[in-house]
Chains A and B, each alone.
Chain A
């Protein structure tokens, strides 16, 4: 049985769609890893729900990528039959769950970006992207609020919870710069008003994160050197492990269906 990975013809639009879809899928998958392990029942459901929202966003974006590429790929082959170097997600999304606090910090960092990002994308000149954005921005607003509340509660909690969540902030901080990058491929689309340049969202993100960390009595890290590479397929070792679990069934039994 062949388990060959697909080849994708990454036009600027297809590449853009895979990047955003991969962010949502990988982060959604990470959240699904909490199923059965959540600290309390309500949070187990919350993490499952947020993961479901993200995987739903990914499906819409992959479906559009399939249509744009028109090469016979579909949402399943994009998800299950690409290797780690073909994935285009942010390094932040693939970082391990760590403890519950670290999962919430990762979610806060991403949602504080996704919320204004999708809101701005509702003005896209591309009708399909504007429609996906309109759904995603509403969902992201809830994700942002939920993760903010937890980061505040844990930061302003016990000595132990404060120390742990501060460490999570420090560990994940170098992965936040990548969200605001805009390379040549994406620049072409931004010039055509299909997508937005994420760089100007930096102020809004800084404002949100500053407000949450301050309420949480946490220290904002210095803006030093930032990790980068996910958008071009240079990933941390964590992604390969995640994919080996996520793709296991399709790689072992190609074409298996429910």
Chain B
């Protein structure tokens, strides 16, 4: 395989896998989320590197499966998916486009640079429906590991907040 062939294959693989969606937040692709870390050619074969959002994220097996399917649909055989833990995934890797899509989906996106939280801190989260900052947490743990359940005190709508990690 010439370097040009390898690069063409890599781009074709990247095109195929970057559209794979998170099964639990189907408006986000793995590229939006920052879960897709790399697509490379190793010994003539495609190697896709992903990193889990949470240690126990049950979506990771599904995502790996979807990547393999996407490569197969693109006619790319023998591809491999590699999961790496380091560097640890952070919500800062979520793209601007991903944040916008989340908001439109009704989920308040994580703040960039949100980082870790104080033990007794108060967090300001904007309502994805009306934009109000007059909101409060209902539960730190929502419908999936990555979300918390909040409510807007102005429009009274409950909403999910994608937690900072």
Contacts and interface: CB of A to CB of B under 8 A. Distances in A.
A59 B83 CA distance: 13
A46 to B, nearest CB: 4
Contacts of A144: 119
Instruction: Give chain A's interface secondary structure class.
Output: helix
Given A42-B141, A45-B141, A46-B140, A134 B56 contact: no
Given A59-B55, A135-B54, A49 B145 contact: yes
A53 B149 contact: no
B58 interface: yes
Instruction: Give chain B's interface secondary structure class.
Output: loop
Contacts of B54: 52-53, 56, 135, 139
A40 B117 CA distance: 25
B57 interface: yes
Interface residues of A, number: 36
B44 interface: no
Contacts of A134: 85-88
Given A53-B145, A59-B55, A131 B116 contact: no
Nearest to A152: B120
Interface string A142-153: 101110110000
- Interface footprint category on B: 20 to 34
Given A135-B85, A211-B119, A46 B141 contact: yes
B138 A56 contact: no
B55 A139 contact: yes
A107 interface: no
A57 B54 CA distance: 9
A236 interface: no
A61 to B, nearest CB: 10
Indicate the member of A52, A54, A127 with the most B CB atoms within 10 Å. Answer: A52
Indicate the member of A53, A55, A127, A208 with the most B CB atoms within 10 Å. Answer: A53
Nearest to B164: A138
11 contacts: A42-B149, A45-B142, A46-B141, A48-B141, A56-B56, A131-B84, A132-B85, A136-B55, A138-B88, A208-B119, A215-B120
Interface of A: 42-43, 45-46, 48-50, 52-57, 59-60, 127-128, 130-132, 134-136, 138-139, 141-142, 144-146, 148-149, 208, 211-212, 215
